[in-house]
């Protein structure tokens, strides 16, 4: 096992990784920007080093600064968390070229799955069902219109690189496609340095269900069941749960087998997630693969009892998985809500100072947070400030506990999405387990009409 791990990230995920490392007796090295010098992850790590200015381009995306600290501290391995450099193939390769273990898959796999067009082609060749679409770059809007007419509207215009809903847009007709093409191309170029767009057929009334996989360096792999991440805003998840409600057991089993087959086909190693769309008839389609730890990984940990960060560390240290598929059982139900510093109506970020924070405490509540009383929420980073995970023996009990916890959760000084979370978890669609990816958008349209 490693003696020293550098966490190339910030906020709640840095604290989460530090917690497991400390339990395993691994020395932790934190890095921080000018804006984060007093952050909790900096205080909790065994050592911490500055890496640049407040902007992510000056600090958390500064590969040279991070590698410099890793070498200066004789770090064995780097854990990238999620976001930032976690799916950057060049960073993974740079770590390995410097003799530092990258806690994740190979640079080649990251690059292959990071390009969504190539990922579609790879999965299709492996016999994995993919969302109907065009697995080739669109050169201009005219070509896009021609392809969309053949495919049939509505279509989803998507950026080939990146994620987070950036460069994505549902298009209903030729006119909308002409208007959307250039704007999405520019956004993709700006955020990912790659303006390549492609399109997929919109799977209407779809659920977003993903499967967690673990593969060691010896080719041994398992899945840890599924998570339902259908409740989203702007194509970004806000509530996730495991297991997925109202999913046929045969479909659950097939999706798990498909995920293992897909990961094995690309020679995957470490923790990863196969994301799928599931239509109203429970037909499922490969959407993309996230080659990193997911924001929503705690719900999987809660129902399986497996520490995913610990498994990531062991795999990166060339240890074999200590369990087989039949050893993994899902017990109970877990739901995660993402708490954002944002206006609950417009979804615009709400930076400022937290003047009061009171969180509910109970044995069935798990907090993953980067804030406390007096914390300053800056405009430089993603507005997610915390996650609350609630567990119950049944989904009904987990929802009851979650609703009580949300009522007791108090944050003052900034706007948050707590009112939205309370509204969504009290909706009949959520209670019935029938949420689809367009639920929130449709509800907003109904309220405006």
What are the tens digits of pLDDT across the range 379-400? 999 999 999 999 999 999 999 9
Structural domain includes residue 119: no
Contact by Cβ (8 Å): 201, 283: no
Count of domains in the chain?
A: 3
Q: Are residues 69 and 148 in the same domain?
A: no
Q: Are residues 315 and 433 in the same domain?
A: yes
Amino acid 188: pLDDT: 87
| Environment class of 406 (CB within 10 Å of its CB; exposed 0-12, middle 13-18, buried 19+) | buried
Q: Are residues 415 and 430 in the same domain?
A: yes
**Predicted confidence (pLDDT) per residue in 325-349, tens digit:** 999 999 999 999 999 999 998 899 9
Sign of CA dihedral 120, 121, 125, 129: positive
Q: Are residues 396 and 421 in the same domain?
A: yes
Token pair for residue 112?
A: 């292959």
Amino acid 22: pLDDT: 98
- CATH classification of the domain holding 443: 3.30.470.20
- CATH classification of the domain holding 152: 3.30.1490.20
Q: Are residues 274 and 331 in the same domain?
A: yes
Structural domain includes residue 124: no
State yes or no: is 292 an active-site residue. yes
Q: Are residues 166 and 299 in the same domain?
A: no
**Predicted confidence (pLDDT) per residue in 14-27, tens digit:** 999 999 999 999 99
Structural domain includes residue 373: yes
Average model confidence (pLDDT) across the chain: 95
Grade residue 441 by pLDDT with cuts at 50, 70 and 90: confident
Give me the helix-helix angle, 249-265 and 116-125, nearest 10°: 110
Residue 172 contacts by C-beta under 8 Å, 6 or more apart in sequence? 153, 154
Rounded Cα distance between 75 and 55, Å, is 25
Structural domain includes residue 310: yes
- CATH classification of the domain holding 22: 3.40.50.20
* Active-site residue, selected from the candidate residues 292, 338, 395, 401: 292
Buried-state track 40-66, b at ≥16 Cβ within 10 A, e below 16: bbbeebeebbebbeeebeebbbbbebb
Grade residue 449 by pLDDT with cuts at 50, 70 and 90: low
Buried-state track 98-123, b at ≥16 Cβ within 10 A, e below 16: eebbbbbbbbebbbbbbbbbebbebb
Structural domain includes residue 118: no
**Predicted confidence (pLDDT) per residue in 190-229, tens digit:** 888 889 999 999 998 999 999 999 999 999 999 999 999 9
Amino acid 191: pLDDT: 80
Structural domain includes residue 345: yes
Closest to 394 measured CA to CA, from 415, 435, 364:
364
Structural domain includes residue 115: no
Query: For 155-166, what is the mean pLDDT?
Result: 84
Q: Are residues 256 and 405 in the same domain?
A: yes
Amino acid 357: pLDDT: 97
**Predicted confidence (pLDDT) per residue in 246-287, tens digit:** 999 999 999 999 999 999 999 999 999 999 999 999 999 999
Q: Are residues 319 and 248 in the same domain?
A: yes
Rounded Cα distance between 374 and 352, Å, is 10
Structural domain includes residue 109: no
Distances (CA, A) of 272 to 42, 213, 269, 319, 370: 27, 5, 8, 17, 24
Q: Are residues 56 and 72 in the same domain?
A: yes
Query: For 292-301, what is the mean pLDDT?
Result: 97
Amino acid 376: pLDDT: 93
420: containing domain: 207-448
């Amino acid at each position: 096992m490693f003696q020293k791990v550098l966490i190339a990230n910030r906020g709640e995920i840095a604290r989460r990784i530090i917690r497991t490392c400390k339990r395993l007796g691994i020395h932790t090295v934190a890095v921080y920007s000018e804006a984060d010098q007093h952050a909790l992850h900096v205080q909790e790590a065994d050592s911490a080093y500055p890496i640049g200015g407040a902007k992510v381009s000056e600090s958390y995306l500064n590969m040279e600064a991070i590698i410099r600290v890793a070498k200066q501290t004789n770090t064995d391995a780097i854990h990238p968390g999620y976001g930032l450099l976690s799916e950057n193939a060049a960073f993974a390769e740079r770590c390995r070229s410097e003799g530092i273990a990258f806690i994740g898959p190979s640079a080649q796999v990251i690059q292959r799955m990071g390009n969504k067009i190539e990922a579609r082609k790879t999965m299709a060749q492996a016999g994995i069902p993919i969302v109907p679409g065009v697995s080739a770059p669109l050169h201009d809007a005219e070509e896009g219109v021609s392809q969309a007419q053949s495919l049939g509207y509505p279509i989803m215009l998507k950026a080939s690189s990146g994620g987070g809903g950036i460069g994505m847009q549902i298009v209903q007709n030729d006119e909308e496609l002409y208007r959307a093409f250039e704007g999405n191309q520019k956004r993709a170029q700006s955020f990912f340095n790659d303006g390549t767009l492609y399109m997929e057929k919109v799977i209407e009334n779809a659920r977003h269900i993903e499967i967690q996989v673990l593969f060691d360096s010896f080719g041994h792999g398992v899945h840890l069941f599924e998570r339902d991440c259908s409740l989203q805003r702007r194509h970004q998840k806000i509530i996730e749960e495991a297991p997925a409600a109202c999913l046929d057991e045969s479909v659950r089993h097939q999706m798990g087998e498909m995920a293992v087959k897909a990961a094995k086909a690309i020679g995957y190693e470490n923790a990863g997630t196969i994301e799928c769309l599931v239509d109203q008839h429970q037909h499922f389609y490969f959407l993309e693969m996230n080659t990193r730890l997911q924001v929503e990984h705690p719900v999987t940990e809660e129902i399986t009892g497996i520490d995913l960060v610990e498994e990531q560390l062991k795999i990166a240290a060339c240890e074999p998985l200590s369990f087989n598929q039949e050893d993994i059982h899902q017990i109970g139900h877990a739901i995660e809500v993402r708490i954002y510093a944002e206006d609950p109506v417009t979804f615009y970020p709400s930076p400022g100072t937290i003047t009061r924070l009171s969180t509910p405490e109970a044995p069935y509540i798990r907090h993953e947070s980067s804030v406390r009383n007096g914390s300053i929420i800056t405009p430089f980073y993603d507005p997610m400030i915390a996650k609350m995970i609630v567990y119950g023996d049944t989904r009904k009990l987990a929802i009851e506990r979650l609703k009580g916890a949300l009522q007791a959760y108090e944050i003052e000084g900034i706007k948050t999405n707590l009112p939205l979370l309370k509204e969504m978890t009290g909706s009949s669609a959520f209670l019935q387990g029938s949420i689809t990816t367009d639920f929130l958008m449709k509800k907003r349209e109904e309220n405006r009409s």
